[in-house]
Amino acid sequence: MYKNIEPIDTDIHVKYLCPNKKCLTICWLSLKETQTKNFKAICDYCDTVFRPKRIKNVEIKFVEQEKASGSKRNKTEEEAKETKSKEEDYCFLKDAKNTLVKFGFRKEEAEDMIDSAYEECKIENAATLVKISLDLLRS
């Protein structure tokens, strides 16, 4: 049996949100497509033609998992730092939830709606998440 075989190539796909305000379907494009100059994409759902922002470079780093070592205290400190970092990275979720609360939704409703919208499209923009969650509520 062969062990620790490294990959020979990568295949990356990028998600784009259809620019048609009535559609907002998630469109998947390959990295090669997004690197092509003047590339045009077509939404599979509504046939809207759009030009995605060109991606010039992607860097992937392989990081080996650290072996279990160190005291329990060090792990707790690392976990606290990681949690704080995640909270800062996801402040757009908090903003989106607060916006829905200001619209009159209960806190629990707002959290459920925004979490569902984020799980569906993984967009890191509070205003867009609010719009998508309201659209999901309508359908």
Is residue 80, in this structure, part of any structural domain at all?
A: no
Shared domain for 94 and 56, answered yes or no, is no
Kindly report the number of other CB atoms within 10 A of residue 52's CB atom. Answer: 16
Residue 99 has pLDDT above 70, yes or no: yes
Give 27-95 as a DSSP string.
EEEEHHHHHSTT--EE-TTT--EE-PPP---------PPPPS-S-HHHHHHHHHHHHHHHHHHTHHHHH
Token code pair at residue 101: 């609360």
Question: Considering the domain boundaries, does residue 78 fall inside one?
Answer: no
Counting Cβ atoms within 10 Å, is residue 80 exposed (0-12), middle (13-18) or buried (19+)?
exposed
Residue 79 lies in a domain: no
Kindly tell me if the per-residue pLDDT of 40 is higher than 90: yes
**Closest listed residue to residue 122, CA positions, set 86, 87, 93, 82:** 93
Q: Which amino acid is at 35?
A: Q
Give me the chain's average pLDDT, please.
81
* Domain contains 71: no
Q: In angstroms, rounded to a whole number, what is the distance separating the alpha carbons of residues 71 and 53? A: 46
Tens digit of each residue's pLDDT (9 = 90 or more) over 8-34: 877 788 888 899 988 888 889 998 899
How many domains are there within the chain? Answer: 2
- Does 18 map to a domain? yes
Domain coverage including residue 115: 90-139
Decide if 97 is inside a domain: yes
Q: Is residue 105 part of a domain?
A: yes
Asked if residue 106 is part of any domain, the answer here is yes
Amino acid (1-letter code) at residue 93: L
128: CATH: 1.10.8
- pTM score: 0.40
pLDDT tens-digit series, residues 67-78: 655 545 555 666
Q: How many Å apart are CA 48 and CA 17, to the nearest integer?
A: 11
